[in-house]
Amino acid sequence: MHILYEDNHILVVLKPRGVLSQADGSEKEDMLTLLKEYVKEKYHKPGNVYLGLVHRLDRNTSGVMVFAKTSKAAARLSKQIQEHTFKKYYKAIVEGYIEGEKRLEGYFLKNEREKKSHPSPKGQYASLYYEAIGHKTIQNQMVTLVQIELETGRFHQIRVQFSSIGHPLYGDMKYGSKHKIDPLEFPLEAYKVEFFHPITNEKLQFEYNTLHL
Q: What is the pLDDT of residue 25?
A: 86
- Cβ atoms of residues 77 and 107 within 8 Å: no
Pairing of strands 203-207, 116-119: unpaired
Fold equal for 2-87+192-207 and 89-185: yes
Mean pLDDT of 49-66: 95
| pLDDT tens-place string over residues 98-107 | 999 999 999 9
Q: Which residue has the higher pLDDT, 173 or 25?
A: 173
> Could you confirm whether 58 is annotated as catalytic?
yes
Spell out the domain ranges in the chain: 2-87+192-207, 89-185
pTM for this predicted structure: 0.94
Please tell us whether the domain made up of 89-185 is placed in CATH 3.40.50.720: no
Assess whether pLDDT exceeds 90 at residue 8: yes
Residue tagged active-site, from 7, 24, 58, 182: 58
> Band of the pLDDT at 54, cuts 50, 70, 90?
very high
Q: What is the pLDDT of residue 46?
A: 87
> Band of the pLDDT at 27, cuts 50, 70, 90?
confident
Closest CA to 60 of 175, 194, 141, 205: 175
CATH number listed for the domain at residues 2-87+192-207: 3.30.2350.10
